[in-house]
């Protein structure tokens, strides 16, 4: 059976069979960010190379490690199962700390949604379907700035989607565009602002995930474009300060080894306590399979 059935099997896989993969990453955002607004580090320079969600407007595109890059967690391992074993991250600047970080499996995106169309539902084109977590359970939506708006806090929108049970016509809660305009901003997050929440768009009551997005309706008009990204959050860690790396052993520290699906596109989103401009984030990712 794939996976680890004991601590011993994990250790044997890593030590005796060498079934682990180690890689480093480096993200160097250039964007000026503000406290409490989540930011998508997939758009930041470094290694892995940035990814800009550039393709035909409204048309869904599936994401994968082999096609799009992301954190290098190693090759597919089926029939084994791969798990996130350890992560480390550190920074060269105290400015953005403390900073919560989520590791997400980026599944699919809908690019270049227009923020100028007041009251008119913009329909998505579902050419691609979810490549992993195909029923949508636990899959979340995040709205990422890809061309900045001009006047924040004046617009809201809702998303029409199909939930994890395949029920269509579901409507997200109303969310508000924040007042941070740089590319990579998760546009619905902000501190102490009505209708702004965490990184993900709140779903209709009773839903636990998103299988596909059918449309988005803006209320209010402005310039700007956003991309809706479907992600599966798989792990979390927090940088507390400049003077110590954050090291997480997901077995010892969380008693849970997040699974990484074959060919998953992994990247990070973060909620800084200050600007990320000119900050370097360095880290390690260790995966194991068995």
Partner 1 sequence: MGFTSMDDLIDKVSTDGQFKRIDWNKLFLPTTAAVAGEWHCLVKGTGEPATGSIYNSGTNLAFQAASETLANSGSIQHGGNVSPATKHILNASAFTAAATVAPCILMLVDLLGWYRVTSVTTTTAQATDNTVTLPRYTNGAGVQAFMWNTNTTAMGAATPNLSLGYTNSAGTASRATPTTLPIGKTAAANGLILYSGTGLGKYGPFMPLQSGDSGIRSVQTIQNSTSYVSGEYAVGLCKPLLTLPITTLGVAAERDLVNQLPSMPQIVDGACLVWLMYSGANTPTNSSLYGHLDIGWS
Cβ-based nearer residue to partner 1, 20 or 60: 20
Distance of closest approach, residue 236 Cβ to partner 1, in angstroms: 19
Distance of closest approach, residue 25 Cβ to partner 1, in angstroms: 9
* Contact (CB, 8 A) for 186 and 37: yes
CB under 8 A: which stretch of 101-109, 113-121, 179-187, 245-253 binds partner 1?
245-253
Q: Binder to partner 1 among 222, 247, 254, 273 (CB under 8 A)?
A: 247
Q: Is 206 in the site for partner 1 (CB under 8 A)?
A: no
Instruction: Provide the 3-class DSSP secondary structure of residue 67.
Output: helix
Q: Binder to partner 1 among 95, 179, 275, 280 (CB under 8 A)?
A: 280
Q: Binder to partner 1 among 2, 32, 45, 98 (CB under 8 A)?
A: 45
**DSSP code of residue 15:** I
Alpha helices in 12-148 (DSSP H): 65-68
Q: How many Å apart are CA 70 and CA 267, to the nearest integer?
A: 6
Q: Binder to partner 1 among 23, 116, 193, 236 (CB under 8 A)?
A: 23
Q: Which residues pair with 249 in a beta bridge?
A: 86
Encoded tokens for 233 = 């959050």
Query: Which residues neighbour 54 within 8 Å (Cβ) at sequence distance 6 or greater?
Result: 111
Encoded tokens for 48 = 């892995």
Q: Binder to partner 1 among 30, 55, 64, 72 (CB under 8 A)?
A: 72
Q: Binder to partner 1 among 151, 245, 256, 278 (CB under 8 A)?
A: 245
Kind and range of the H or E run holding 73: none
Query: Which residues neighbour 213 within 8 Å (Cβ) at sequence distance 6 or greater?
Result: 60, 110, 124, 126, 141, 159, 160, 161, 162, 228, 230
Q: Is 119 in the site for partner 1 (CB under 8 A)?
A: no
Q: Is 44 in the site for partner 1 (CB under 8 A)?
A: no
- Which residues in this chain contact partner 1 in the complex, by CB under 8 A? 7, 10-11, 14-20, 22-24, 26, 28, 45-47, 49, 69, 72, 74-77, 88, 90-92, 242-245, 247, 249, 251-252, 280, 282, 284
């Amino acid at each position: 059976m794939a996976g680890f059935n004991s601590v011993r099997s994990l250790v044997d896989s890593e030590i005796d069979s060498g079934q682990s993969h180690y890689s480093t990453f480096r993200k160097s955002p250039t964007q000026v960010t503000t406290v409490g607004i989540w930011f998508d580090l997939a758009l930041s320079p470094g290694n892995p190379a940035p990814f800009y969600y550039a393709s035909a407007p409204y048309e869904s595109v599936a994401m994968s490690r082999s096609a799009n890059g992301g954190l290098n967690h190693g090759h597919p391992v089926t029939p084994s199962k791969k798990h996130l074993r350890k992560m480390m991250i550190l920074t060269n600047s105290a400015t953005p700390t403390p900073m919560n970080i989520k590791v997400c499996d980026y599944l699919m995106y809908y690019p270049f949604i227009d923020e100028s169309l007041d009251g008119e539902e913009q329909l998505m084109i579902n050419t691609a379907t979810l490549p992993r977590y195909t029923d949508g359970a636990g899959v979340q939506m995040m709205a990422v700035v890809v061309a900045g708006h001009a006047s924040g806090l004046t617009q809201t929108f809702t998303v029409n989607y199909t939930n994890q049970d395949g029920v269509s016509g579901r409507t997200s809660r109303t969310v508000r565009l924040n007042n941070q305009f740089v590319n990579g901003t998760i546009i619905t997050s902000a501190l102490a602002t009505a209708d702004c929440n965490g990184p993900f768009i709140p779903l209709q009551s009773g839903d636990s995930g998103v299988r596909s997005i059918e449309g988005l309706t803006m209320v209010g008009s402005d310039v700007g474009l956003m991309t809706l990204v479907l992600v599966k959050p798989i792990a979390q860690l927090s940088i507390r300060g400049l003077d110590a790396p954050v090291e997480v052993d997901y077995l010892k520290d969380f008693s849970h080894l997040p699974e990484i699906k074959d060919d998953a596109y992994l990247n990070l989103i973060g909620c800084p306590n200050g600007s990320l401009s000119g900050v370097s984030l360095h880290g390690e990712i260790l995966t194991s399979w068995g």
